[in-house]
Structure 1
Amino acid sequence: MCYYVSNSLTRKEMKDTFGVTYNGPDYESSDFVNGFSFPQTPIVIDENPAEAVLGDWGLLPSWAQDRSFRKSTLNARIETLTERSSFRESVHNRCLVLVNGFYEWKWLDAQGKRKEKYFIRLENGDKPFALGGIYNIWRDRRTAEVITSFSIVTSDANELMAEIHNTKDRMPLVLTQQAGKAWLKDHSLEDFSFPDYSPDLVAINLDGQSQQLTLF
């Protein structure tokens, strides 16, 4: 799955890498962002692909009573997007989640008492990249606040991620520049599912800096 990302993009990096402007407020960027803190994160939505906005991590469907629901929607499996009530109404609401990378842990024993931490990114010259997401505009019934909330879409793991994420065999939808444009244009979900789609990734073992895994 994908619950921890690196997110320290500057406004200039958003413009240079994704061709988008960001005119919103400053946000709490970090090299290690925990999804379970439900942070605000720069995203690009399909309705306005020229501008980045802040989205709340953890999708809130229209019928959610309160924000506590988002703890179960940090990720959305691409295979069941059209089936789960949490995500059905947002299948065609596509967004890009802008990151520098994400983190995953490889279990070294059956109980997970020993783990190796990896930092994974797109093989693109160490530039920021996008994860595929879906979003929903949600209105808080108590405060009338309107929130753009999102979920990161995941798929079956490719060979590299299956080696690292060896308990779940999942990975976030890592998008190249071309794939990102297609995702925002609502191309078929099957076009982004492994093995039909498999981006080139690099994984760095943070518990042993000399080890770097690459899949081409």
Structure 2
Amino acid sequence: MQQKDPIPKVQKRFKAVVDHPELFLQAEVINGFAHPNVPVILDTTPQIISTNYTWGLIPSWAKDMAFRKNTLNARLETLHEKPSFHGITANRCLILATAFYEWHWNDDKGKSKQQYQINTTEELFAFAGLYDQWHNPSTGEIMHTYTMLTTTANETMAYIHNHKKRMPIILKKEDELAWLTGANPVEDFGFPYEVELVGFPVEKG
């Protein structure tokens, strides 16, 4: 994922204020497996851009932090079946970004790959996410974590992500509030719901 726009532009776009500007993550590339604190907007505080939410959801009942490596993403189709997301499907958030990355497999086993950068027609956009809180029994710390929802790939992403044919749920600008408020059930945001995407091969540097 990519998030690199300056704070004033982000605040203007989402009509919200960053809670801790010194912690606002700005980077060309963000690796989810590093479990970064990516800026999010919660349903409970839509006027605030929160900087203390970590990518990789840890359910309140999890025993340790290792759980989060399995919950960077949440499949929309099985959301209500997974214990990890039980009771939090109403805990909605916007995950802010400017672009994201995915791999195209050039062969059946993925030994040769081409990375793509994917953009929308909006300079800034939001992924659909869910969040939770976890109490670390070892340190007493309260951790705020989230997961990104995914759905069946549209035509563009089916070509790029040809191995699994999945894509994150990217919200249309006019639907961001409907997502946050729960005005529409989560199922309404699965494919064929989609935004226009454009993919660019990333040159190897």
TM alignment of 1:1-216, pairs within 5 A? 5-24=1-20, 25-54=22-51, 55-124=53-122, 127-186=123-182, 187-195=184-192, 197-207=193-203
Checking the alignment, whether the CA contact within 8 Å between 2:18 and 2:24 is kept in structure 1 is no
Checking the alignment, whether the CA contact within 8 Å between 1:61 and 1:89 is kept in structure 2 is no
- Aligned partners of 1:51 and 1:31: how far apart in 2? 23
CA drift at 1:11: 1.7
Question: What residue identity is the alignment partner of 2:31?
Answer: N
Name the structure with the higher strand share: 1
- Aligned partners of 1:175 and 1:192: how far apart in 2? 8
SS of 1:31's equivalent in the other structure is: coil
CA drift at 1:10: 2.3
Question: What residue identity is the alignment partner of 1:170?
Answer: R
- Aligned partners of 1:10 and 1:23: how far apart in 2? 14
Normalised by the length of structure 2, the TM-score is 0.94
CA drift at 1:207: 3.2
Query: Can you list the C-alpha shifts for 1:55-79, whole angstroms capped at 9, x where unaligned?
Result: 1000011101111110000000011
Matched residue count = 201
Checking the alignment, whether the CA contact within 8 Å between 2:106 and 2:114 is kept in structure 1 is yes
Normalised by the length of structure 1, the TM-score is 0.89
Question: What residue identity is the alignment partner of 1:156?
Answer: T
SS of 1:64's equivalent in the other structure is: coil
Gaps of 5+ in 1: 209-216
Structure 2 counterpart of 1:212: none
CA drift at 1:28: 4.1
Query: Can you list the C-alpha shifts for 1:119-142, whole angstroms capped at 9, x where unaligned?
Result: 112112xx1110100000222122
The sequence identity of aligned pairs, in percent, is 39
Checking the alignment, whether the CA contact within 8 Å between 1:103 and 1:118 is kept in structure 2 is yes
- Aligned partners of 2:46 and 2:107: how far apart in 1? 44
SS of 2:84's equivalent in the other structure is: coil
- Aligned partners of 1:138 and 1:46: how far apart in 2? 18
